[in-house]
């Protein structure tokens, strides 16, 4: 039983790091622009399919396909931002409708271009087993992208906290007019936010193509998962994304081991509701000041 639970915890942590990679881009845009990009999952998916095409047609390793995928996904993210920037009133609500529509268009574009077949990398190395302490099993891809997920969470956190652009981004999120008076260009910082979000979506896409299986309808599920983690984390909290994602991964994994896999999605939603009930601002969210 100890072996089972230990493996379950290990799998949960790996899944969590992978979830964090998916959610980070959404959380960044949500935290800095108050825009819930419902097309984020589709951007992740686009990154995955470009990686697939690069491997299939050019023989590139998924990791080597990152520059190509990055260019196209960031360009698409920029197009999404441009459309959002055209919204003049009630941006929070209208951007929801707009990005939902963009998500549907992207899903169907993926379906038309790449058909509905499932795909995953054919590079066997990524699926070879790694055994730690004789009892913990993982695929190489899971370890690579879990490590990358943790590094990227740290990098984004450092960028937001320590760099000038990161501070500018937070200043715009906090008070757009005041930031303008301090010499910050709000549009430029928002463009930057979307570009970084596109970068994170690309890495997440390559991770999914490498460790899991991709199909055109996956984007919506990814957005839902990313949104749950973003809310769990607390708006704008980057460390919260990692903690929320790992918590979700571990709860799902333990549910499979101790109860049934059929209940894992339910367990994730129960966790989501419990956290919202006890901590309405999320795990790392700031409570609203009164008065």
Partner 1 sequence: MSKSTLCVSAVALSLMLGLAPADAAELKIGAEIPLSGNLARVGSAMNEGIQVAAEMFNKKNGKHTVKVLVVDDESSPAKAVGAVEKLAADGVIAYTGGYGSNIIGPASEAAEKLGKVYITSGGVASELTKRGLKTFFRINSSEGYARALMGMFSEVGIKSVAVVYSTKEATEEVAKMLQTGLGAKGVKVTMHAFDPATNDFKPIVHKIKLQDRPEAIAMIGYENDYVGILRAAKVLKPDIKTIAGVWSLATSKMAAEFPDLMENVSGTSTLSYPAVFTTPEAKEFAETYQKMFNKAPDYLGIFGYVQSKLLFDAVARAADAGTIDKGGVASELRKTKTESVIGKVSFDEAGDNPEFTHRMGQHQAGKVELVWPLEAATGKMKYPALPW
- Chain positions 193 to 222 lying near partner 1, rule: CB under 8 A, are 212-213, 215-217, 221
Structure token digits, residue 158: 């450092």
Euclidean distance between CA atoms 63 and 66, whole angstroms: 6
Q: Using only C-alpha atoms, what is the Rg of the chain?
A: 19
Give the interface size with partner 1 as a residue count (CB under 8 A).
38
**Window of 70-78, 87-95, 134-142, 166-174 that interacts with partner 1 by CB under 8 A:** 134-142
**Distance of closest approach, residue 234 Cβ to partner 1, in angstroms:** 24
**Window of 64-72, 124-132, 187-195, 226-234 that interacts with partner 1 by CB under 8 A:** 124-132
Q: Is the alpha carbon torsion for 66, 71, 73, 78 positive or negative?
A: positive
185 part of the interface to partner 1, by CB under 8 A: no
Number of other residues whose CB lies within 10 A of the CB of residue 66: 21
**Distance of closest approach, residue 226 Cβ to partner 1, in angstroms:** 14
99 part of the interface to partner 1, by CB under 8 A: no
59 part of the interface to partner 1, by CB under 8 A: no
Which residue's CB is nearer to partner 1, number 65 or number 255? 255
139 part of the interface to partner 1, by CB under 8 A: yes
Paired residues of 29 in beta bridges: none
19 φ/ψ angles, rounded to the nearest 5 degrees? -60, -40
223 part of the interface to partner 1, by CB under 8 A: no
138 part of the interface to partner 1, by CB under 8 A: yes
Q: How far apart are the first and last CA of the chain?
A: 53
Tell me if residue 119 falls in helix, strand or coil.
Answer: strand
Which residue's CB is nearer to partner 1, number 40 or number 119? 119
**Distance of closest approach, residue 164 Cβ to partner 1, in angstroms:** 39
- Chain positions 227 to 266 lying near partner 1, rule: CB under 8 A, are 253, 256-257, 260-265
143 part of the interface to partner 1, by CB under 8 A: no
**Window of 5-13, 82-90, 189-197, 198-206 that interacts with partner 1 by CB under 8 A:** 5-13
11 part of the interface to partner 1, by CB under 8 A: yes
Which residue's CB is nearer to partner 1, number 122 or number 174? 122
Decide if 239 contacts 157 (C-beta within 8 A).
yes
Which residue's CB is nearer to partner 1, number 71 or number 115? 115
Q: Provide CB contacts within 8 A for 144, sequence distance 6+.
A: 126, 210
Q: Provide CB contacts within 8 A for 240, sequence distance 6+.
A: 27, 232, 233, 234, 282, 283, 284, 285
Euclidean distance between CA atoms 142 and 243, whole angstroms: 18
Euclidean distance between CA atoms 244 and 16, whole angstroms: 8
How many alpha carbons lie under 13 Å from residue 19 in its C-beta half-sphere? 31
**Distance of closest approach, residue 219 Cβ to partner 1, in angstroms:** 11
127 part of the interface to partner 1, by CB under 8 A: yes
Estimate to the nearest angstrom the gap between the alpha carbon of 286 and the chain centroid: 21
Classify residue 233 by burial, with Cβ atoms within 10 Å: 0-12, 13-18, 19+.
Answer: buried
Q: What residues line the site for partner 1 (CB under 8 A)?
A: 3-4, 7-8, 11, 14-15, 107-108, 111, 115-120, 122, 124, 127, 129, 137-139, 212-213, 215-217, 221, 253, 256-257, 260-265
């Amino acid at each position: 039983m100890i072996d089972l639970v230990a493996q379950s915890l290990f799998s949960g942590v790996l899944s969590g790091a992978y979830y964090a990679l998916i959610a980070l881009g959404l959380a960044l845009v949500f935290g800095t622009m108050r825009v819930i990009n419902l097309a984020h999952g589709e951007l992740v998916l686009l990154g995955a399919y470009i990686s697939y095409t690069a491997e299939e047609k050019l023989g590139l390793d998924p990791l080597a396909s990152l520059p190509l995928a990055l260019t196209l996904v960031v360009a698409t993210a920029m197009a999404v931002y441009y459309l959002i920037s055209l919204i003049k009133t009630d941006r929070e609500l209208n951007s929801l409708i707009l990005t939902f529509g963009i998500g549907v268009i992207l899903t169907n574009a993926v379906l038309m271009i790449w058909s509905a077949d499932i795909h995953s990398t054919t590079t066997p190395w990524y699926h070879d087993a790694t055994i730690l302490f004789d009892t913990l099993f993982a695929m190489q891809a899971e370890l690579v992208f879990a490590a990358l997920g943790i590094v990227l969470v740290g990098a984004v956190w450092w960028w937001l906290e320590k760099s000038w652009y990161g501070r500018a981004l937070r200043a715009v999120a906090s008070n757009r007019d005041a930031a303008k008076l301090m010499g910050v260009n709000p549009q430029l910082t928002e463009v930057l936010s979307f570009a970084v979000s596109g970068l994170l979506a690309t890495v997440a896409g390559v991770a999914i193509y490498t460790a899991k299986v991709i199909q055109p309808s996956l984007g919506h599920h990814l957005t839902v998962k990313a949104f749950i983690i973003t809310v769990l984390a607390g708006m704008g909290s980057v460390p919260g994304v990692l903690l929320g994602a790992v918590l979700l991964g571990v709860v799902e994994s333990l549910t499979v081991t101790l109860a049934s896999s059929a209940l894992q999605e339910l367990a994730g939603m129960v966790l989501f509701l419990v956290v919202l009930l006890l901590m309405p601002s999320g795990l790392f969210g700031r409570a609203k000041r009164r008065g």
